Amino acid sequence: MIKGIQSKIEKKINRKIKKRGDCQYLSDRIHIELNERLSYNTIRRVFGIQLDCNTKPSINTLDILSQFIGYNSFDSYKRENTWRKEWSLQIQICGWINRMDDDELIFELNSFRIKNEKFTIIFVSVLRELFLLKKFKLAENLIRKTNINLESLSYSELLYIGNGVGSILPKIKIEEQDLVRLLKNDFFVEYIFLLFVDYSSLSGYYGLLYFLIKRHKIELRKEQKLFFQAIEKFRKLLTNQKIELINFQSINKESLHPILIGRLASIEIAACKQKGIPYDYILHDLIMIINASDRPIIDYLYELKSVALLLGDFFLMEWICSEENYIITEEYQVAHQQFSFIIQLLLAIHKKNDKECLAILKKIDDKKWILSYYSYINIFHSIGNYHFTKDKQEKIKILQKYNKLCAPLNYPIFDEKYLKNYFN
């Protein structure tokens, strides 16, 4: 960013900044045009003439330099230039798709994989464009033939791919044959369907996946089968159906991802609640697994939050909060933390602790919520706000928002009675 400012300044004054005289000249020009003072020493440091200096320019210095080349501030400069780069990239991708045949497109994408650090952004943009054009066969072929080194990607980057591609699926109509094609592609199953867990579409395409897998006898790995079985049971919970125990203790969990382990535990807890039997044994098993693992605790507890909220189980919420600790090491954990804030809010309301409620509400930021859970989290955020506010008119507005949120989801469990009686 700073190099871009340097280049624009030198172009404006038609002069390279290489020595003290150049720095003084720029200092004088800035003073004349902006009535702001930047010493030649400051300018010398910004342009790297003082090589032994590691001091970064202050925001005030960057603001003045940005104003000199026509921007309101350094932030304004960053936003506009980032937008220009992204827009240029999108135009380039659209050009590829319009003018290239399938093999050329795959070749171009593989070339970017080798030379460009923005591969994940390009990869997601290409797939989204293909889905919008309903070129599912090409998308599936592209996934098979693109050289993606998964080991080089962080979990946050994989989540970016999952969310970036998965979020387009509810917006388009996908025929059964195309969904089956995608379900037969292991990359798509593992990094789209299993990462973008679309809680907003369990009455739509996402809820169909389990049935399509069974109907078309699609071969999946053990952990993938367990995932889709758990999702189907969660869909039944949302539609007020009974679910059976999955025998959590008997499942070999050694190779399972922590979030899947937590998902299976949460389904077992829900089944126990329906049957009116204790679920202490599940929490005991989970603690033993966590203590023996070096994976983040928050991953194991993530799906327990979903079920604790759905069932209004304040004991489970309390247990989650007591076990959880947050050391943010990856970007995705910020969204997980936001989910925890919703749990903490409802617990504070349950305990009638208004002071704590206010403190938690200040931490909640819907811009940081995980995309595929956004509507689901918003429902419980609305429930919390409804019961916390004392203003009758505000309650009416929140109830209207809640009904608007629930209508497209089409989950029978979320009616007005559910909201109003949540803490009873």
The tens digit of pLDDT for each residue in 351-407 reads 999 999 999 999 999 989 988 899 999 999 999 999 999 999 999 999 999 999 999
Complete DSSP assignment for 204-267: THHHHHHHHHHHTT----HHHHHHHHHHHHHHHHHTT-------GGGS--TTS-HHHHHHHHHH
Summarize the confidence of residues 275-285 as an average pLDDT: 95
Model confidence band, residue 139 (pLDDT cutoffs 50, 70, 90): confident
Q: Which helix (H) or strand (E) holds 125?
A: helix 119-132
Tell me the C-alpha distance between 134 and 248, whole Å: 40
Q: Residue 167 in contact with residue 372, Cβ under 8 Å?
A: yes
Tell me the C-alpha distance between 12 and 7, whole Å: 9
pLDDT of residue 201: 92
% helix, strand, coil for the chain, step of 5:
70, 0, 30
pLDDT of residue 112: 63
pLDDT of residue 143: 77
CA-closest candidate to residue 26, choices 1, 56, 47, 48: 47
pLDDT of residue 78: 74
**Lowest-confidence pick of 134-143, 171-180, 376-385, 413-422:** 134-143
Tell me the C-alpha distance between 103 and 141, whole Å: 10
For residue 295, pLDDT over 90 is answered with no
Q: How far is CA 245 from the centre of its chain?
A: 30
The pLDDT tens digits for 175-187 are: 999 999 999 988 8
Mean pLDDT of the chain: 87
CA-closest candidate to residue 386, choices 362, 411, 357: 357
Tell me the C-alpha distance between 392 and 394, whole Å: 5
**Is residue 264 exposed (0-12), middle (13-18) or buried (19+ Cβ within 10 Å)?**
buried
Name the residue type at position 244: E
CA distances to 240, 257, 269, 276, 345 from 247, rounded to whole Å, are 21, 18, 11, 16, 32
Q: What percent of the chain has pLDDT over 90?
A: 53
For residue 80, pLDDT over 90 is answered with no
CA-closest candidate to residue 187, choices 228, 158, 210: 158
More confident residue, 310 or 84: 310
**Lowest-confidence pick of 36-40, 122-126, 145-149, 339-343:** 145-149
Model confidence band, residue 83 (pLDDT cutoffs 50, 70, 90): very low
CA distances to 7, 8, 52, 62, 172 from 4, rounded to whole Å, are 5, 6, 22, 12, 40
**Lowest-confidence pick of 55-69, 72-86, 314-328:** 72-86
pLDDT of residue 401: 95
The pLDDT tens digits for 92-132 are: 565 666 555 666 766 666 666 555 556 777 788 888 888 88
Summarize the confidence of residues 66-73 as an average pLDDT: 83
100: tokens are 């290239």
pLDDT of residue 95: 60
Tell me the C-alpha distance between 331 and 157, whole Å: 9
Q: How far is CA 197 from the centre of its chain?
A: 11
Tell me the C-alpha distance between 320 and 157, whole Å: 27
Which pTM value belongs to this model? 0.73
Q: How far is CA 346 from the centre of its chain?
A: 23
Tell me the C-alpha distance between 166 and 331, whole Å: 18
More confident residue, 43 or 143: 43
218: tokens are 């699609």
Residues 6 or more apart in contact with residue 235 via CB below 8 angstroms: 202, 203, 207, 210
What is the rounded (10 degree) CA torsion for 368, 302, 415, 408?
A: 50
pLDDT of residue 382: 97
Count of other CB atoms within 10 angstroms of residue 237 = 23
pLDDT of residue 79: 64
Tell me the C-alpha distance between 23 and 43, whole Å: 6
pLDDT of residue 384: 97
Q: Residue 246 in contact with residue 269, Cβ under 8 Å?
A: no
pLDDT of residue 362: 94
The pLDDT tens digits for 173-227 are: 889 999 999 999 888 899 899 999 999 999 999 999 999 999 999 999 999 999 9
